[in-house]
Amino acid sequence: MNSSIIERLTSAGHLDRIFIDGEWVLPAGQARTSVIDPSTEEPVAEVALGSAQDVTAAVAAARRAFVTWSVSSPQSRASLLDRVHSLILERAELFAQAISLEMGAAIGMARSAQVPIAAEHIRVARDIAGSYPFLTHRGNTAIMREAIGVCCLITPWNWPLYQITAKVGPALAAGCTIVLKPSELSPLSALLFAELMRDAGVPTGVFNLVNGDGPEVGAAMAMHPDVDMISITGSTRAGILVAQAAAVTVKRVAQELGGKSPNVILPDADLARAVPAGVAAAFRNVGQSCSAPTRMIVPRERLADIERIACDAVSGIVVDDPRSPQTTHGPVANRAQFNRVQEMIGAGIAEGARLVCGGLGRPQGLERGLFVRPTIFSDVHPQMRIAQEEIFGPVLAVIPYDSVDEAVEIANGTVYGLGAHVQSQDLGAARAVAARIRSGQVHINNPAWDPHAPFGGYKRSGNGREYGVEGVQEYLETKAILGYMEEKQA
């Protein structure tokens, strides 16, 4: 199946092209990049990269299309999104195989999470497009919510399709036109998505895709005077660079950046339920999620039991070939990330954290590929690097506390504020702690994912919100028209 993905894109000529103004076109330059299978560290394809010149062409196409798309009926936009949603479900296996190949997701996880959750973003955007009150009244004044304009969307490699749909769906629902720059490290699913958009009947120029790297294509998007908004999901460093470049033209910037999410286990928590679920959440997608709860903050008197349960949970993880249905966790996505995870495991050991399972190097029996040992440290001090810095790998820091106030202080004691978890059998106590944690989302007792729940960060985790109504509103301007309603005569 993986070879057929490459054959499909090769035979269509799409590995060599970008998608601008409704057509697959050759980029202006000759730059290319290799797509690496992280399970073998071997190249599987080469993809053409765009340039600043291509960004200019794509933005011009989006600007032309905005004139008509922005005033199209919400129902017509919902209809397009409905077709996109149906095609994602129809091509779900194709997307799952592409994601597994390009960034190493275990195929079971790609099928059960990466693709279905991506489809949910489109479904929710479709429903909001058909029901959102774009025009309301306040006395004699009309409040109009209008599309902000041309939006450049910069997405990461860790949830490649999911992050695309989380931005594209709301932007289209709002009436915006789009230039998408997916990560050059995971471009295959993005190319398949561009094929899907054309097959769904997206109007010419409404959706454009320019593959490329941040210094060339991302910077050109951020600085372009005809771009009205940038939405970026990536590292805090990348978000800062985009915001600095965008400031010159005073465009809106929405940023979903780094995280170091806490998981506060309150003293009365059911450890048999809370701890395995916490390990699973921290190591989901091999820990490559910005909201992964990689700091487990636990009562000191229950530390030994928590360590034992957590290590038992790790023993059930199967790290192996991502194409095998038995595999639960594949490799990390790229060499830079592998090196980062190894560096941070080494830092935990050097700083004196107690290694309770995992450690440096590959899992036993895996001689090649970017595979990492799921690792848990305990007796972690809140100021250690492994408790402060985003690792983006399967590394969990267990941090003991002596009072609930101290637990909250530890939870809030990083520069990030994206996600958080609280575990307790007393819902009132859990709510009270959740209210004190400074983060954009808090999960109480591992609830089901809610695609309508707004997602975004406090502090250096970014600004703006994605998902649900709030996600659509990020792409809207507010206009007040005074005297819109006829005044009643006395």
> Whole-angstrom Cα distance, residue 487 to residue 137?
13
DSSP state, residue 300? G
> Whole-angstrom Cα distance, residue 153 to residue 390?
23
Question: Which of the residues 102, 184, 195, 256 is marked catalytic?
Answer: 256
Neighbouring-strand partners of residue 136: 143
> Whole-angstrom Cα distance, residue 327 to residue 374?
14
Nearest by Cα to 182 from 337, 285, 47? 47
Question: What phi and psi values does residue 106 have, to the nearest 5 degrees?
Answer: -55, 135
Q: Are 319 and 329 in contact (CB under 8 A)?
A: yes
Q: Are 189 and 161 in contact (CB under 8 A)?
A: yes
- The residue ranges of DSSP E strands in 219-299, in sequence order, are 229-233, 252-256, 262-265, 295-299
Edge-to-edge order in the sheet of strand 135-138: 135-138, 141-147, 476-481
CA 285 to chain centre: 11
> Whole-angstrom Cα distance, residue 289 to residue 393?
8
Question: Which of the residues 151, 152, 176, 290 is marked catalytic?
Answer: 290
3-state secondary structure of 14: helix
256 a catalytic residue: yes
152 a catalytic residue: no
Catalytic residues: 256, 290
